[in-house]
Structures are given as C-alpha cells and as structure tokens.
Amino acid sequence: MTTALVPPSARTVVEVGVGAVAPADVLAVARDGARIELTADALEAVDRARAAVDELAASATPVYGISTGFGALATRHIPTEKRARLQRSLVRSHAAGSGPEVEREVVRALMLLRLSTLATGRTGVRRATVQLLADVLDAGITPVVHEFGSLGCSGDLAPLSHCALALIGEGEVRDADGVLRPAAEALAAAGLEPVELAAKEGLALINGTDGMLGMLVMALADLEVLLRTADVAAAMSVEGQLGTDRVFAEELQALRPHPGQAASAANLRALLRDSGVVASHRGPDCTRVQDAYSLRCSPQVHGAARDTLDHCARVAGWELASAVDNPVVVSAGDDGPARVESNGNFHGAPVAYVLDFAAIVAADLASISERRTDRFLDKARNHGLPPFLADDPGVDSGLMIAQYTQAGIVSELKRLAHPASVDSIPSSAMQEDHVSMGWAAARKLRRSVDGLTRVLAVEVMAAARALDLRRPLEPSPATGAVVDLLRSHGVQGPGPDRHLAPEIEACVDLVRSGAVVAAAEAVIGELK
C-alpha cells in the first residue's frame, strides 16, 4: 500500500464539517494528499464551544480538563496563570512513544480524524488551532509517531500527542519531501506559526481513537480488494485443478442464504464462465462432484469473511460519526447553557474488537489460499500436472519453496489473529484500570493485510502456471486475462527454474494495486 503524496495539481478537496467524514475522505487525505477545507458550520460550532470553555475557565469552580490536572491528577485545581503550562506539559509528557516510525498514511489518517472531531464543536478548541491542524496536513507535514505508546485508552494518547507536539513547534516531523526536520523549522518553511495552547486544547488534541480508526478504515479498503482477489484466485485454482463448478450453482448457494456466500459464489460462476478447461471434464462421465474443501467451500469461507468485514465497516461508520473527547462540550448552540461533561467515549473497545475480527478473517483467507496452492504441487492431488509444477522434476524444484513462503506467512498470520483486545494492563495509578489495546490490534492488522496480499499472490502465480500447463485447453476469458496480465509484468510461465523472488514481488504488486481484479473485471464486468 502506498504512502506517497500525489502532486498538488492532482489533489481532491475533502470538506470537514460538523458531520462525519466518509471512508473515502480518509483514504483521499491519508494516501492521496487531498486538501482540507473546513466548512463554515464547523467553524461556527468551534467558536460556540470555545466560548463555553472560556466561560467555564473563568469560573471559580474546578472543571476537569479545563482547570484541573488529568487522569489520576484530576483532583488538583490549576490556577489561571499555570493553565497554558498545563496544556503544554500535557502534550510534552504524553509524547512518549518509542520504536520505529509509523507509516505516513497512518499519521495523516489519524490527524484528519482528530480534525473531524475538533470540527464537531464538542471539544472546545479555538478556531486557530483547528485551522493549524488542517494547514499542517495541507502542507504535507507529518509528525513523527512511534510504534509503541498507545494502550487504546484514553484513545491513542501517545500517537496523538506527537502530532500535537508538532503544532506547538516541538518534536520532529517529515516534510512534504519526506525529509526529517525539527517541527518549528518545517512549520516556518511552510509559512505556518506554532500555536500557544489555551485551556482544554492540549487534552482535546490527544484524547481519541483516531489512530486505530484510521488504520481500520484503510485496512477495510485493502481487504475489499483482497476479497475479490481471493475469488479470482479460487476460480483459477478450481479451473487449474480440474475442479467442478457445479457446487457454485445459485440454487445450491441459496439453501444457505448468507449474503457474502452468495456474492462470492456469483463471482466464481462469472469467473469460470466459458472455461475450456472446465468444459473438458463436464459431462456424464465426470465424477468430480466432491472436490477438496479448499476448492468446494471457497464461497462459504470467502463469504463468511465478507459478512464479518461488513460488520467491521458498520462499526467504522459509527466511529467516524462520533465526537470522541473527554470532557466534551454539550448543549453548545442548543437550548440551555453549555456545559462540559466527563464521559468514557474514548475507550477503544468497539474499534479494537473489529480490528481483531478482521485479523482473524485475513488469517483464514490466507489459510485456505495456501491449501489450494499446495494441491497444485502434489502429483498425487493435482490431476496430471508435474510435481511442484516443475519443468524437469528432480532437476527443477518448480514452485516448491514459493509454497514454503506462503506457509511461513500463514503461520505468522495465525499468531497475529490472537486478539489484542482481550488483554488489558492497568495504568495511570489505576485510574485507567481497563484499556482496549486497540492500537496494537490495528498495528497487527496492517501486518495481516500485507501477509494476505502475499499469500494470494503466490496462489495466483501457481494457478497461472497450472493453467498454462493445461494447454491446449483454454482457460475462461476472465482467468485467461489474469494469466496474460502476469506474463506482461515479468511473471514467466512454465520453464526451467529461475530466481523466483522478483516474480513473487511482481505478483504481490499486481494483487495489492487491484490489477489482478481489474484484469478479470475488464472481461466480465464488476465483481461483487
């Protein structure tokens, strides 16, 4: 998946208002460098909420997040002259991440989603602070955020704090060219001035589920492509292994009316339509009605994955529509006086659970893909193909070790499928005594998506070689188009052993970019 920004001339514009940003907006800003435009209603809502915070800050009554300390230190009332220092100290102390840098697209998604919450008028920040966050995104400045530091409650504190640190001109950032620079220097080069945080602003900038949510949105977009790729790969494997397509019949699938299963089976029928290979053994003499589960049950497994990810997408939609902060401004602009209320909406459990669900899906899709691939290589099960699809078995090893690569990745994906969200470790002197680990769930899901991409790529490569070996029987027009795509991108057909790693990487790029799906769809129309 790419993290590069596109040239400014190619950018789209994403409007950020009081309502939710769409998943497509997250992708546009995170991956394509789309420009931000704050709407008038958002700026008005920000101003109203800020007026409420200023009024409460002037009161002699302590208000959490405005005139008190934070977390386990919330019992201390902070005098007016120390409140700017309070906000600055909060950001500095919470910017405590460690480990490798997080990918640029993740940081940009995180920043956009924090901006979206600020724009709801529920956090009490000033207009200038909101605008600066939008301007930093537009300038292509990306704060350095580290792998470790978030427990997913109160949201993604450490990652968001590193972003807030850049807004006050401290810490390190990557500029639009990816060069590591001090934040103050990068802001000045972009014509931007650091902000001096006022009451409540430091807390509002760091208290949300934006990192884990951004990674969920991007993973779901990638998995949508990979689900269709899995159907393409399965069709190629069924065809290359002389499997039957009769089990995918609509009347059979309707007996178990899961929507994902119906969609996957419909894809398989379309992909295998007009296949000369399938037609060659379809008839009264065909006894292939009991293919192995990895072939026969592909729509059941792929369909269950689809339905699970549909649930994940619903949760993401609810979270995108949320204003996550603590405390929040309520009744600002409505009937009655505005007030600030503490809440627990920052807890990452809803997002953490579905991040873990998605990692389970990725592991199982990869597992069934690897099993289909393995069948190609075993002469006892591949119905007349050479062992390991090798040119001269014994002298040549064919795709033997490509399957090892798959197997190693699948094993890793099974480990990554262990849920992070069932763990919790107390923090903040037991004030934060149950946490979601949602950030950790999101980080492992990104690795799972990458692993699934690679496993499917090896299956497509093996199936394409098998279909070539079946000639003069012709594959279906759709699967034949995928074979042609591979051959045109340096993935060679059957022949003596050669260096396989570059060909595997070429296949990975074609799967990741969606080119494999696009090649099939160019023949049969859009897959479900």
What pLDDT shows up at residue 492?
95
Contact 348, 152 (CB under 8 A): yes
Spatial distance between the Cα atoms of 137 and 45, rounded to a whole number of angstroms: 21
In sequence order, the β-bridge partners of residue 37 are: 15
Residues 6+ apart with CB under 8 A from 29: 14, 36, 108, 109, 112, 137
DSSP string, 203-256: HHHH-SSHHHHHHHHHHHHHHHHHHHHHHHHHHHHHHHTT--SGGG-HHHHTTS
Which of the four pLDDT bands, split at 50, 70 and 90, describes residue 79? confident
Which residue in this structure is represented by tokens 């499928």? 417
Which two tokens mark 163? 């972003």
Strands (DSSP E) found in 158-210: 172-174, 180-182
Which residue in this structure is represented by tokens 């009081």? 18
What pLDDT shows up at residue 3?
38
Query: What's phi and psi for 333, nearest 5 deg?
Result: 85, -10
Distance from chain centroid for Cα 291? 34
Closest C-alpha among 353, 350, 352 to residue 322: 350
Which of the four pLDDT bands, split at 50, 70 and 90, describes residue 66? confident
Residue 448 CA: distances (Å) to CA of 183, 319, 415: 32, 22, 10
Spatial distance between the Cα atoms of 168 and 145, rounded to a whole number of angstroms: 15
Q: How many residues does the chain have?
A: 528
Q: Is 28 helix (H, G, I), strand (E, B) or coil?
A: helix
Terminal Cα-to-Cα distance of the chain (whole angstroms): 22
Which residue in this structure is represented by tokens 């995180």? 110
Which of the four pLDDT bands, split at 50, 70 and 90, describes residue 330? confident
Strands (DSSP E) found in 314-436: 328-330, 339-341
- Active-site residue, 353 included: no
Q: What's the mean pLDDT in 236-240?
A: 97
Residues 6+ apart with CB under 8 A from 468: 483, 493, 494
DSSP string, 126-186: -HHHHHHHHHHHHTT-EE--EEE---SSSSSHHHHHHHHHHHTT-SEEE-TT--EEEHHHH
Query: What's phi and psi for 328, nearest 5 deg?
Result: -120, 155
Q: Is 438 helix (H, G, I), strand (E, B) or coil?
A: helix
Spatial distance between the Cα atoms of 76 and 252, rounded to a whole number of angstroms: 67
Burial of 289 (0-12, 13-18, 19+ CB in 10 A): exposed
pTM of the model: 0.93
With both helix axes pointing from N to C terminus, report the angle between 157-167 and 104-118 in degrees, rounded to the nearest 10: 80
In sequence order, the β-bridge partners of residue 173 are: 143, 181
Spatial distance between the Cα atoms of 165 and 182, rounded to a whole number of angstroms: 11
Spatial distance between the Cα atoms of 295 and 369, rounded to a whole number of angstroms: 9
What pLDDT shows up at residue 84?
82
Which of the four pLDDT bands, split at 50, 70 and 90, describes residue 6? very low
Distance from chain centroid for Cα 95? 24
Q: Is 154 helix (H, G, I), strand (E, B) or coil?
A: coil
The alpha carbon torsion through 436, 31, 202, 146 (nearest 10 deg) reads 60
Least confident of 120-134, 180-194, 420-434: 420-434
Percent of the residues in the chain that have a pLDDT greater than 90, as a whole number: 78
Q: Among residues 64, 293, 353, 404, which one is catalytic?
A: 64
pLDDT of 380 strictly over 70: yes
pLDDT of 5 strictly over 80: no
The alpha carbon torsion through 340, 341, 342, 346 (nearest 10 deg) reads -80
Residues 6+ apart with CB under 8 A from 10: 32
What pLDDT shows up at residue 338?
76
Which of the four pLDDT bands, split at 50, 70 and 90, describes residue 327? confident
Taking only Cα atoms into account, the Rg of the chain, rounded to an integer number of angstroms, comes to: 27
Q: What is the mean pLDDT of the chain?
A: 92
In sequence order, the β-bridge partners of residue 36 are: 14
Spatial distance between the Cα atoms of 494 and 500, rounded to a whole number of angstroms: 12
Which of the four pLDDT bands, split at 50, 70 and 90, describes residue 8? very low
